[in-house]
Amino acid sequence: MSVLLVLEESGGKIKRASWEALAAAQRLGPAESITAVVIGAQTAALAAEAAAKPLGKVVRLEHPLLAQYTADGFSLALEQLIGTEKPAYVVFPHTYQIRDYAPALACRMGQALIGDVVGIDDGPVFTRQLMQGRLIGSYRHAGSGPCFVSVQAGAFRPDANVAGPDLPADAGSAPITTFTPAIEPAQIRSKPGEPFRGSEQTVDLGSAQRIVSVGRGIKEAQNLPLVRELATALGAELAASRPICDNGWLPMERQVGSSGQTVAPRLYLAVGISGAIQHLVGMKGSQCIVAINKDPDAPIFEVADYGIVGDLFEVVPALTEAVKAAKQ
Amino acid sequence: MINVLLPTLAEPQQFSMEEQLLFGTLAAVSLFGFWRRFGPILGNILQSKKDPKFHLFPIGRRVRDFVWEVMCQAKVIRERPLAGVAHALVFWAFCAFALVTLNHCATTFGLGFLDPAGRVGRFYFDFAALFAAACAMGISGLFVRRFVARPKWLGELSWESGLIALLIFALMVTYLAAFFVPGAGTAARALWWAHTVTLLLFLPLIPHTKHLHLVLSPFTVFLSREGFAQIPPLVGDEDFGLVAGTDLTRLVSLQAYSCVECGRCMEHCPANNTGKLLNPKEIVLGLRGYLNEYGPNSEEPLLGKYNAQEAAFECTTCGACEFQCPVGIEHVPIIVGLRRGAVNTGAWEDDHGFFLVLEKGSNAFGLSAAERDKFVEKNALPIFDGTQEYCLWLGCMGAYDPRGREIVVALVRVMRYLGASFGVLRKERCTGDPVRRLGNDLLFQQLAEANLEALKQNRVKKIVSICPHCVRTIQEDWKAYGTPPEVEHHSEFLARFARQLPPIQNQEKIVFHDPCYLGRYRGVYEEPRRVAALAGELVEAPRSHERSFCCGAGGGLVFLGEEKGERVSHVRAEELAATGASVVGTACPFCNTMFRDAFSAKGDGAPELMDIAQLAARGLPE
Amino acid sequence: MKIVVAIKQVLERDAPVRIAPSGKWIDESDVQWAMNEPDAYALEEALLLKEQAGGEVIVVSAGPERVGSTIREALAKGADRAIHILCDDLNGRDALGAASLLAAAIKPENPDLVLTGLQSEDVGLGQTGVIVAELLGLPHATMILHVEKTDSGLKVKRELEEGWFQSIELPTPAVLTVQSGGNKLRYATLMGIKRAKTKELRTVSAAELGAEGAPSVVLEQIAAPKKQKSTQILSGSAKEAAAALVEKLKTEARVL
């Protein structure tokens, strides 16, 4: 049962989500059956990074036309590789990029992608969320081609990469091969531009150790100082769920969620956030989650370690006081 | 005997051929001048499309309103006493003068029917003289008010008003002076001609000025709609409300031409009082300007040159304008009509996505119905199953707003104490009040029909609601789509049983705020006071009862985001607090929430805010 | 510009979710239906493009009889005509199966642009648009917030992770999946509904389109989610709860 694992890079380094996908791949087959793929025009460094992980082998899928990501380019290249490797499973991290091309790739092979998987049980049975997190669905692959799976960020812990009895003796240096796909320029139909930011970046939530995040419960922009004070008292960064940023109350780069940043701080304090799936996805990996919400059935409490059911306009100031007092 | 002592009117009895010719010519010119302007106006009114569902009968109400408002000048006097009496005197004088003027013209040709020397004639002329004197005083007073005191409601200085005032004064003076000159002399003849010329000058001026109301307003009052703030139905597939001239109906055109520019509507408008663009007087005059330029057959948009969309959407539909209008103009259907024209055609931008919220959800807040279920469950509210007497309608505020919920809980406590049999529905959908006032007929129809069906299936016969908006919408606006069950406001319910409630120990000083939709719309002023009086001594705000100043939430405005500029709710809250009352009594959950926000912005020292249900519940055992 | 918009009718967001006895899907009785919100944004984008550049907007939707109400809503909002793919087993199909139906209905229309929402609010796979592009042999782009017509085709604004965006140029015909929030949605108007009565709504059955075939992925069972870890709810007044929380964070979680 060979597993083809597609790794995604960002800024010359392999994204954390890819290692989570590796942890998922390890549920489908032993380390030596896993072939990792790095895609691009110059993939030597990426391949080296991948080779250090417990895998069977690394393939450099390289071609000048793959320098920038395009759905056509990546689909074509991978289709050819899959044709050669003939894996039983093709595993991806569920990122924006994967959502853009993996379904088309699966379609070419007569398959449908099982996307955004949060669990893999024996069978294999793949579980994913439905109805915006209100239900869990169990899926099985029934087709005769490869099984395409993409894995939700934060669902599998990448530290599992390091431990495990399946580790081959010489884990740390998997063999690297190169595969050059045949791609003609005319086959790349879209022209991607350079990524740009909506506004000036001034904050890096990804490295913050503590985050206080605010949601719709805050009601109005003028109530933000309440939460800001708490963040200051805690020495935490201020973040928000999507609606707050959409309203312009906080800049876009403070957004945590599927369309914002994925964070994993030691402490994540969700204030007035209901816990819609798009937000949970961005902070589930946090070590300690605290939720303050007046609705005891808010989904945020599902993932919280500690929760206070109450009016945030009373709880937040009280908490700020308590934190300040504790510091003395 | 008395006849001998009173002065006699000196009126020439014989006129030469030349004089008759002169009179005839002048009269013809004058009448021509009158018709030249009045004809097209009448044309504009008659060419406008017919009002749907207009019924002349039952005629009793119309006659009553006509006698009370036109003949007795009741509204004119009551809402602005001093100026009102002055105007009433002028009006009554005009009425008395009808015969005098007719006789005056007839005598030119020897056809006079009132002989100044005869008993009937003398009596009548003397009678009219009293009115002439009163009129002269009245018109002088009004002149001073307009040109010296200059209240802002009357707008810019109007030279035509001055001229008319002068002409009226002249008419009276030339009449009165004729009592003090010898019967057959030149003086009498001169005065006669002076009076005639003044009259013939006045006549053509009528249709050119706001004095057209002399001719039109009796009709306007007589022909007004069935009820207060009545929104007419849309007719046919191409009717979307007041979009262009072709949508103006006869009643609307008649009303547009009847405006006397008194500014009473403007004076009481909450939007206008807080610096918004909306001015109800200008809305009406805007329609008049439109009709004068484009006529009733034009496709030119009504919201364009003469009226702004922004203004139309600043209205809270409080109805103060319509209530105040002495000539029977109905502003609310006009403004809602303009809104309909914009919303039903998609010309209005729904910046807050409000309609989408109600298209998809059950309530105006976009909250999950599960929230309402939790509230019902937590407070163990009985579920309506068709066997109870009352269906307690929570509405959006009662089900989802924390303050509204407190009101419901208080009312439920009282109802339980009284042993009333009631239940709440398992599911409720918004009655559609804000949607109706904003002019979205598609969504309103969907809500009304769904609700009527649900009520029928649940076998609801009687509804009690804490919200005057729900009450109004259920009772009146749903009628277009079916037969709604009986519905009353909780103040009416509580007032019936007020005597059975236990006395309240701590009596407070309470100022009751009349909600627009309970007071002006429903005529309910005393019942909530009867209930509030259980809890203390009542004081009145300067503007109370039919003059109550809106809290600012109505017309769907509370759902359209933050208000610009000075807030209506803050102005009213200040007024209520200034009475020195320790408690502000409300009977509408919207008023309650609006004032709560206003008072919390004020800080300490603000009066307590209590719904009458909460006041009534104060005496109940814990 | 001829634009096809593929929309899906989904459970109303507020609706209670009950699992059917079979355990394979939800209980659809006594449920309110609505247009999938991302599809509403796709429709809005299409209508705006039509208002700017002229053309025709055609709405396509697959599903049982009840889907008609959502299709009529789209017509009321301004679409010119509609195609209803009558299909009673939409839930039994995988993403490839569902997309095949749509592609088969769209192909004969030869549109310049196909728009659909990024993902559905019920199943949430987010694949239909991409697969339709593949089946029609057209270029595509996903997570689109803004579409602009250019001389050579289209220029679109695509959303990336972490607050980044990207412009992409692609030729027409093309397929785009539209992210929510790019525009303000319009409400259904009375005028729209009246006009919709005369608009063409063509029904075609799944069998006619010939898009059959066994699914490669099967949804075996649905269930309510298990709570993954126990949440400690701290009770009491605001002050008490706050103090208790600080205590826990210090001593138990050791994050303060």
C140-149 and C154-159 strand pairing = antiparallel
pLDDT at A200 over 70: no
Pairwise CA distance, residues C199 & A38, whole Å: 51
- Report the alpha-carbon distance of residue A9 to residue A16 in Å, rounded: 9
Band (pLDDT 50/70/90 cuts) for residue C85 is very high
Give the B:C interface size as CB pairs under 8 Å. Answer: 57
Enumerate the residues of chain A whose CB falls inside 8 A of the CB of residue C170: 189-191
Whether residue C173 has a cis bond before it, omega within 30° of 0: yes
- Residue A322 tokens read as 């308590």
Supply the pLDDT for residue B297.
Answer: 95
Contacts of residue B374 in chain A, CB cutoff 8 Å?
Answer: 297
Core vs surface per residue B61-79: b (16+ CB within 10 A) or e:
ebeebbeebbeebbbbbeb
Yes or no: say if B522 and B562 are a contact pair by the CB < 8 Å rule: no
For chain A, list the domains and their CATH numbers.
3-187 (3.40.50.620), 205-327 (3.40.50.1220)
Q: Tell me which DSSP letter residue B548 carries.
A: P
Predicted confidence (pLDDT) at residue A164 exceeds the cutoff of 50: no
Mean pLDDT of A212-228: 92
Q: What is the pLDDT of residues A275-327, one digit of tens each?
A: 876 688 788 778 899 999 998 878 788 789 999 999 999 999 999 999 998 87
The yes-or-no verdict on residue A170 having pLDDT over 60 is no
Which CA distances in Å does B38 have to A251, B32, B206? 63, 10, 9
Q: Which residue of B has its CA nearest to C34?
A: B360
Contacts of A297 in chain B (CB under 8 A): 370, 374
Query: How much is the pLDDT for A280?
Result: 81
Contact B116, B122 (CB under 8 A): yes
Instruction: Tell me what percent of the residues of chain A surpass a pLDDT of 90.
Output: 61
Nearest to A61 by CA among A22, A21, A97, A9: A9
Q: What is the mean pLDDT of residues A105-115?
A: 94
What is the DSSP track for B424-447?
A: B-S------HHHHHHT-HHHHHHH
Bridge pairing between strands C113-117 and C140-149 = unpaired
Report which secondary-structure segment, H or E, holds A122. none
Q: What mean pLDDT is predicted for residues C34-47?
A: 95
Q: Is residue C86's pLDDT more than 80?
A: yes
Any bridge partners for residue C149, and if so which? C154
Confidence (pLDDT) at B361: 84
In the DSSP assignment, the letter for residue A131 is G
Q: What is the pLDDT of residues B378-408, one digit of tens each?
A: 899 999 999 999 999 999 999 988 789 999 9
Q: Is B447 buried (19+), middle (13-18) or exposed (0-12) by CB count in 10 A?
A: buried
Report the pLDDT value the prediction gives residue A165, as an integer from 0 to 100: 46
Give the chain A residue whose CA is nearest to the CA of C250: A326
Using CA atoms, how far apart are residues B408 and B395, in angstroms rounded to an integer?
Answer: 10
The per-residue pLDDT of chain C, averaged, comes to 91
pLDDT of residue C104 exceeding 80: yes
Strands C33-35 and C9-11: antiparallel
- Bigger pLDDT: A252 or B616? B616
Give the closest of C188, C190, C194 to B359, CB-based: C188
* Distance, C-alpha A94 to centroid of its chain: 6
- pLDDT, residue B112, reads 85
Q: B554-565: b or e for each residue (b if 16 or more CB lie within 10 Å)?
A: bbbbbbbeebee
* Spatial distance between the Cα atoms of B381 and B408, rounded to a whole number of angstroms: 10
CA-to-CA distance for A303 and A296, rounded, in angstroms? 13
Domains delineated in chain B = 2-222 (1.20.950), 245-343 (1.10.1060.10), 354-495 (3.40.50), 501-617 (3.40.50)
C-beta neighbour count of B405 within 10 angstroms? 19
Burial of C151 from C-beta contacts in 10 A (0-12 / 13-18 / 19+): exposed
Nearest CA in chain B to C35: B360
| Domains of chain C and CATH, by start | 2-209 (3.40.50.620), 230-256 (no CATH)
For chain B, list residues with pLDDT below 70: 1-6, 561-562, 601, 603
Compute the nearest-CA separation of A32 from chain C (Å): 27
Mean of pLDDT values over C163-178: 93
State whether residue C245 sits within 8 Å of chain A by CB: yes
Structure tokens at B364: 């105006």
Decide: helix, strand or coil at residue A274: coil
> Among A100-109, A170-179, B476-485, B505-514, whose mean pLDDT is lowest?
A170-179
Strands (E) in B8-98, as ranges, are none
Return all residues near A98 (Cβ < 8 A) that are at least 6 apart: A6, A8, A92, A150
C222, A113: Cβ pair inside 8 Å? no
CA of C132 vs chain A CAs: smallest distance (Å): 8
A16-25, B510-519, C211-220: which has the highest mean pLDDT?
B510-519
Q: Chain C residues with CB inside 8 Å of B359's CB?
A: 34, 187-188
- What are C148's strand-pairing partners? C155
Helices (H), chain A: 16-28, 44-51, 71-85, 96-108, 224-234, 242-246, 277-283, 300-303, 312-327
Burial of B503 (0-12, 13-18, 19+ CB in 10 A): exposed
Residue A260 has pLDDT above 90, yes or no: no
- Cβ atoms of residues B241 and B340 within 8 Å: yes
Q: Is the ipTM beyond the 0.90 threshold?
A: no
Closest CA to B556 of B377, B318, B218: B318
pTM (2 decimals)?
Answer: 0.85
Secondary structure of residue A44 in the 3-state scheme: helix
- For residue B345, the tally of other CB atoms under 10 A from its CB is 16
Q: What is the pLDDT, as a whole number, of residue A266?
A: 86
